[in-house]
Amino acid sequence: MKVLVTGAAGQLGRDVVAVFEQQSYEVLPCDRKSLDITDSDACLRRVEEFRPDVIIHCAAYTAVDQAETDVDQAYQVNAVGTRNLVVAAEKIAAKFCYISTDYVFDGQSANGYHEYDNTNPQTIYGKSKRTGEVLVQSLSSAYFIVRTSWVYGLHGNNFVKTMLRLGQDKPILNVVNDQKGSPTYTVDLADFLLEIVQTEKYGIYHASNTGECTWFEFAQAIFAEANSQGGSYNVQVNPCTTEEFPRPAPRPTNSVMEHLSIRTNGFQDLRHWREGLISFLREFLKNEDNTGEHL
């Protein structure tokens, strides 16, 4: 199988490339330097040259707060860029896998969101990602839309690394306790993508590590597990409210997504978020310098 991965220099993209290469697939990693996804001609050329069996589209505009004022760029990347790649994929009959987000929902549900619940994005980021979904559904004849949440991994910036960095310098941390979700380790998500793209079980999937927690509970777990693996974090984590940390873009109160499609299509669900966190910390803390180098 030949696989083209966009956003290959990013947090998820790097692990997707690694997971597929470990299975001896021929992978073409594309980052923003090697492929401008907003250029339709460039997308078509690259896809027709490589002729992948599947495109895994990890590239995205993900600066949630900045998107509120940088509207055109958010849509150019998340909507136009996605359309360009889908059109190119259709020209060569390639499968298309689009990575999306819990932000396509309003975050106000009392329960976890199912794949085919009505969307109602509240931010420019969420609206632009939902537009990308619509274009994929409209233009691709063989698509997987995979919504995920609270992603972290060894590459790039994320909540886990931020907590570990702050925990070295600050004795007390206040962390939001009225937003809940499912932390997702990029390696676990990449393994799931590897599994589904080999099939023709097309549609929308919710894929995060299982279980749920608040950001406060996640932070507590980060320090507990880091210390159990030899870390020396002596930090007090206190709960606070969203109102105490106002941001330009509203954050979802509930980011939990039900994995209905994973169950009904017979796939193996992702492991519990705490198990994913333990695996991440095992890799990250292997070299103590990592706690500074990768932040």
By CB atoms closer than 10 A (0-12, 13-18, 19+), residue 134 is middle
Please check whether residue 97 is in contact with residue 54, taking contact to mean a CB–CB distance below 8 angstroms.
Answer: yes
Residue 210 phi/psi, 5-degree rounding, is -75, 170
Helices (H), the chain: 11-22, 40-50, 71-75, 82-91, 124-139, 159-169, 186-196, 215-228, 260-264, 273-284, 290-293
Question: CA quadruple 205, 211, 217, 218: dihedral positive or negative?
Answer: negative
- C-alpha 34 chain-centroid distance: 21
Spatial CB neighbours of 132, under 8 Å, sequence gap ≥ 6: 78, 79, 82, 83, 98, 100
Would strands 213-214 and 180-181 be described as parallel, antiparallel, or unpaired? antiparallel
DSSP 288: T
> Following DSSP, what letter does each residue of 257-272 receive, concatenated?
B--HHHHHTTPPPPPB
SS3 of the chain: helix, strand, coil, percent, to 5: 45, 20, 40
Catalytic one among 61, 75, 98, 125?
125
Whether 125 sits among the annotated catalytic residues: the reply is: yes
CA angle, corner 261, sides to 155 and 127, nearest 5? Answer: 60
Q: Can you tell me the distance from the alpha carbon of 125 to that of 73, in angstroms, rounded to the nearest whole number? A: 10
Catalytic residues: 125
